Amino acid sequence: MPYVKVGKENSGDIELYYEDHGTGTPVVLIHGYPLCGTSWERQLPPLLAAGHRVVTYDRRGFGRSGQPTDGYNYDTFAADLRELVKHLRLRDFALVGFSMGGGEVARYLGRYGTEGVQRAVFISSVPPFLLKTSDNPEGVDPSIRDATLKAVQADRYAFFTQFYQNFYNTDVLLGKRISEEAVRSAWNTAAAASPWASVACVPTWFEDFRKDLARIDIPTLVFHGDADRILPISASGARTAKLVQGARLVTVKDGPHAINWTHAEVVNPELVKFLGA
């Protein structure tokens, strides 16, 4: 299995697990919390069929990547992505981020620029800035962040069960657009993640990406469901589309947070069209 070294903690290397399939224009898919690279299984076939080289990887602390107790912030996540890009010698590639993965897209482009990156895609993503402050009245009250953090610290397994109910809007879509087995698989993925990472990632959702988005000068596509209960479209996707010059917003009707799974038949054609053959 392929790994790339991105750091060191005491006597052990910190390595990211990745998969690299197909040929053609590279597309890097960045997963959300608390999943891993396998969560893109509904996007892989159409992207490969369209002639793309598709790279997925597991964020530090998740999936088959190393589980250190350090580096859970977006500067480090972006640096990890940079190491993967250099390791694979990617050029003229696209970055696609789902949920928490959209933060990597924003911070990577904000920190390293758009040289070598052709296109950017945000799917149900955390940017631009979720926390309510004096200059960001659209954000959520800090008490929501604190309550979420306490819930994960108290019993992350119970939190994941409740989280996925709103992740997939199971009260509406279970048995229609997602199965009990698929939800169980996602829960198992979350349970296998690092306990430390499960907690440490929560505050990162509230990082400020507004300056990062302002630096993006490449074609950008934003997907968001209008029934997203994790990251409401008005607080995230709609604002991201306005802050990135020339970005286009695709609103998925009745789409929950995980539209890349539940509404793949809407997301995939638009994604393939945007990325080109």
Residues serving a catalytic function are 99, 228, 257
DSSP output for 175-240: TTTB-HHHHHHHHHHHHHS-HHHHHHTGGGGG---HHHHHT--S-EEEEEETT-SSS-TTTTHHHH
Which amino acid, residue 132? K
Calpha distance 17→63 (Å, rounded): 8
Phi-psi region of 274 (alpha: psi -120 to 50; beta: other; left: phi over 0): alpha
Tokens, residue 10 = 């005491």
ω into 203 cis (within 30 of 0): no
Who's near 160: CB < 8 A, 6+ residues apart? 34, 187, 190, 191
